[in-house]
Structure 1
Amino acid sequence: MPRQSKGARLWSDKASGFWFIRDGAIKRSTGCRSDNRAGAEDALRAYLDTKYVRPSDSRASRLFVTDILIYYGREIAPGQKSKATSYAIEPLATWWATKKLSDVKRSTCLAYVEHRRKQPIRQAKTDEARKKKVSEETARRELTVLRAAINAYHEETPLDALPIVTLPPASPPRTRWLTRDEAARLLKAARRLEDKDSSRALVRFILLGLYTGTRSGALRDLGWMPNSLGGWVDLEHGVIHRRGEDEAETKKRKPPIRIPDRLVGSLARWHAADMTETEKRKPIPFVIHYRGKPVDKQRKSWAAALEKAGLPKDITPHILRHTATTWLLHAGVKPFEVASYVGMSVQMVDDVYGHHSPEHQKEIAANIGRKPAGKAKLSSKLSPVRSA
């Protein structure tokens, strides 16, 4: 009986020191040395693209996990704006390369998590960052992509047995927020960065984050005019549209909000500075920009500002969203209004931030230990009737 193919996968040839692609009888060099795993994965992805044939089998025991991932990556993921799916497919396809869909079960899912926890972070660029390993939460998010891929394929071609993807427990939500003093220190540090272009971009990012609670990605996508890539600031009507014109609404809501009073003057100045054409430059249509170009990430400037402000290194830009939500609740704004403003569900505000509200459990705290109203009357009504 012929041996069943394991599917296309990477193979490290220790004798030559290069990565190869093995696919049945095919052995093809990637041209990447053993220390260039990322390049080898790119070569494998390119190879898989050339031989892609849409799977149609409904038997979980005959389908490779990589078949499902490739199907999802080619036919479903392109319609999603987030890049997280493509980032997750690569490590998933590498580890599950030789496994069938029927091999997806609790033990293999947990084994994948342990495997990922031992791997360095691929995007790490410094020696210190390379010492860190992939977090359990990252592995969990990757497994949610595997689950989504399986479910998407099952909707198109019903499987004879639908595998269950087991996820590790979710990490508790981060509720760390900045005090007024910490926020002031961070903003002051951002203004004192040596690179003035980075300083300007980070100051705008911090102020917008603190006063609107908008997600980092949506902030960096903001423009001064309507566009299809992201939201825009409408100074005439005093509204910030956080969602692009052609952008579909998702679970990560981006409702329009009124421009906060404290940002009106700043936004007007920024708009005048950016949109005024000069002999040296054309108008800049992006609210947050670096030398006239849109900003994708601000890792270096953010880290530098944290250090200057004396704040912990592990604080991420997402803390601005936490801070805005917490400050609003501290001010007595009702949870459903906070949810509408920052773009969260009311349940999320209540579950994660509800304890910050001055109304949180106020009625319970006021009544704990008190005697029930009408106790005496109730006792007399329930007293036993004497027999004649």
Structure 2
Amino acid sequence: MPRKSMGVRKYLRKREGRPSVWVILDGGNEVSTGCGEDDSAAADRFLESYLAEKHKPQWRSGGPDEVVVADVLLFYATEKAPTMAHPELVGFHMIPLLEFFGAPKKCSFVDGTSCRQYVKDRAAGKIGKRAVKEATAGRELETLSSALNFAFKEKKLIIPVPVTLPPKALARERWLTRSEAAALVAGALGITATAFDIETRKPIKWGRMFRPSYHVARFILIGLYSGSRHEAILKLHWLLNTSGGWIDLSHNILYRRGQGERETNKRRPPVPIPENLLPHVRRWRRITSVGPVEYHGRLIAKERKGFARARELAGLGEDVTPHVLKHTCITWMMQRGVPIWEVAGFSGTSENIIRKVYGHHHPDHLSAATKRFHGR
């Protein structure tokens, strides 16, 4: 009796005398991905492209009870994702989505019950390699919703299929005080408290006890004074380029978007370099070659370990993430009474979000309401 086929799958081929390589097994065919044993993520992307080329979606009449969810996701990944700012996110989201909504499940299976079950199973670790937060599962369902809407717009589905999303997480209100920000920069430079007051337990003496991470300190200062997002700071160059922003010291302008890069919902408008930051930037230009946040002559891809160490040395909690630097910049400007429209333009955030999330920090917040109790 013939053995049941295991379908198209990824397999690590061991080779005597040569490094192992990931291959794609498709029945009796074997296709090399060209990816080594340590590059499993690239092999996953190769498998996705292989399946996309092999499989042809069956739309039939376009009814939700006829179209497979996997075909909708595949159509979205091949037709829409390449035009997006971060197409790799679609690939990352598709892996757990296909595990739960994959063939032979039809679009009619997508309803409130199945979406809530997906969030529950994803948070419990039953889907994917590890458990994730509900917010992460919600972002994956947003990708599914976008794929279904795109299929309806392209007339592959005759009616829209709504996706039930989990409640939005509360907006982050964590921001740093001046002393906390100073402690964070000191932690990046390897400086920590070495002596404390016996009664108050407050630090009274500081010293450099660890090796400094200058690129982390530069990252923190740019975030605090420019309100730029994590990714935009890491991609900053000294010269004009197409992959990220650049710093124009001739006119003292910080361009947060590369030449030819499309604008997205995460707006990155050019802004003048703040006066407090400008002397630092001029000095950094003399001691670095590619950009301000470089390590051994190369821009880093993600600020994780260095920032975590600085946070630990500063005595701050895990709620202090790189994105808190942007919150802090906006909060400080609001506390100083900077007009909301100017804060929105400088930070690349809409005025509606500024009012909703940071409005209570402004000295004029509801000032007219408090004056109503004066007089007769």
Q: TM-score, normalised by structure 2?
A: 0.81
Contact 2:99 2:127 in 1 (8 A): no
Cα shift at 1:53: 2.5
Pick the structure with greater CA Rg. Answer: 1
Q: Percent identity?
A: 38
Contact 2:246 2:258 in 1 (8 A): yes
| Number of residue pairs the alignment of both structures matches | 333
Give the distance between the partners of 2:100 and 2:272, measured in 1 at CA.
47
Cα shift at 1:49: 3.0
Q: Work out which of the residue numbers 327, 330, 336 in structure 2 matches 1:322.
A: 327
The aligned counterpart of 2:226 is: 212
Structure 1 residues 38 and 260: CA distance shift in structure 2, 3 A: closer
The aligned counterpart of 1:146 is: 144
Give the distance between the partners of 1:171 and 1:70, measured in 2 at CA.
29
Aligned pairs (5 A) from 1:76-115: 76-82=80-86, 83-98=88-103, 99-115=105-121
The aligned counterpart of 1:378 is: none
- CA RMSD, 1 decimal: 3.1
Give the distance between the partners of 2:230 and 2:146, measured in 1 at CA.
25
Poorly superposed stretches of 4+, deviation over 4 Å: 7-11, 26-31, 37-44, 120-123, 193-196
Q: Work out which of the residue numbers 261, 269, 286 in structure 2 matches 1:272.
A: 286
Cα shift at 1:314: 3.1
Contact 2:291 2:299 in 1 (8 A): yes
Cα shift at 1:61: 1.7
Give the distance between the partners of 1:343 and 1:102, measured in 2 at CA.
39
Unmatched runs of 5 consecutive residues or more in structure 1 = 1-6, 12-20, 32-36, 124-129, 275-283, 372-388
Give the distance between the partners of 2:120 and 2:68, measured in 1 at CA.
21
Aligned pairs (5 A) from 1:53-68: 53=56, 56-57=59-60, 58-68=62-72
- Give secondary structure in 2 for the equivalent of 1:261: coil
CA deviation digits over 1:239-277, x for unaligned, max 9?
001111111111111111000001111111111112xxx
AA matched with 1:183: A
Structure 1 residues 52 and 263: CA distance shift in structure 2, 3 A: same
Higher strand content, 1 or 2? 2
Contact 1:41 1:90 in 2 (8 A): no
The aligned counterpart of 1:262 is: 276
Cα shift at 1:366: 1.6
Give the distance between the partners of 1:120 and 1:331, measured in 2 at CA.
48
- Give secondary structure in 2 for the equivalent of 1:315: coil
Give the distance between the partners of 1:39 and 1:221, measured in 2 at CA.
22
Cα shift at 1:360: 0.3
The aligned counterpart of 2:51 is: 48
Structure 1 residues 28 and 146: CA distance shift in structure 2, 3 A: farther
Cα shift at 1:190: 0.3
Give the distance between the partners of 1:289 and 1:122, measured in 2 at CA.
34
CA deviation digits over 1:107-126, x for unaligned, max 9?
11111111110128979xxx
Give the distance between the partners of 1:235 and 1:195, measured in 2 at CA.
30
Give the distance between the partners of 1:29 and 1:95, measured in 2 at CA.
27
Q: Work out which of the residue numbers 162, 173, 176 in structure 2 matches 1:175.
A: 173
Aligned pairs (5 A) from 1:346-361: 346-361=351-366
Give the distance between the partners of 2:76 and 2:157, measured in 1 at CA.
15
Give the distance between the partners of 1:295 and 1:313, measured in 2 at CA.
21
Structure 1 residues 53 and 65: CA distance shift in structure 2, 3 A: same
- Give secondary structure in 1 for the equivalent of 2:269: coil
Structure 1 residues 251 and 42: CA distance shift in structure 2, 3 A: closer
Give the distance between the partners of 1:28 and 1:213, measured in 2 at CA.
52
CA deviation digits over 1:177-209, x for unaligned, max 9?
00000000000010117454xx11111110000
Cα shift at 1:357: 0.3
Unmatched runs of 5 consecutive residues or more in structure 2 = 1-5, 11-23, 33-39, 192-209
Aligned pairs (5 A) from 1:297-312: 297-312=302-317
Q: TM-score, normalised by structure 1?
A: 0.78
Give the distance between the partners of 1:250 and 1:38, measured in 2 at CA.
26
CA deviation digits over 1:255-305, x for unaligned, max 9?
11000001111111111112xxxxxxxxx2222111111111121111111
AA matched with 2:181: A
